[in-house]
Amino acid sequence: MKTAILIISNPDAGDEALARLINGLVLAQEARADGDEIEVAFIGTGTRWPERLTQLTHPANALYNAVREVVVGASRSCANRWKTAGAVEACGLPLIADRRASGTPEGLSIRRYLADGWQTLIF
């Protein structure tokens, strides 16, 4: 199975956002353990997560580190919009720009996952 997990939840939104993140990362860990092809990416206000997740005191730090090798990056256009591009790159993640849309800068293509047959989940 191929699964793309896109994290869009805003870490400033409290417990529900943290629950969404954790559920997405737990799914990534489970899928990886079962040998599935898995990718995790951050989009929208979710591009705020990487900087927080790299903090040792963050409650999801250990889980994030457990799946870090399947985290492919963050949407460039979203990171630029939410002013997190520098922080994302400082965390060692690339900015993904494989989609173009009228009136917006290049960002992550959700359609690419769908067209390539990936189960695509947004948390």
- Listed in sequence order, the residues at least 6 apart from 40 whose beta carbon sits closer than 8 Å to its beta carbon are 4, 5, 6, 7, 24, 25, 28, 67, 70, 71, 72
> Domain holding 114: CATH number?
3.40.1260.10
pLDDT per residue as tens digits for the range 41-92? 999 999 999 999 999 999 999 999 999 999 999 999 999 999 999 999 999 9
**Total number of domains in the chain:** 1
Mean pLDDT, rounded, for 81-108 = 88
Question: How confident is residue 106, by pLDDT bands cut at 50, 70 and 90?
Answer: confident
User: How much is the pLDDT for 99?
Assistant: 74
Residue 105 pLDDT more than 70? Answer: no
Q: Which domain holds residue 109?
A: 2-122
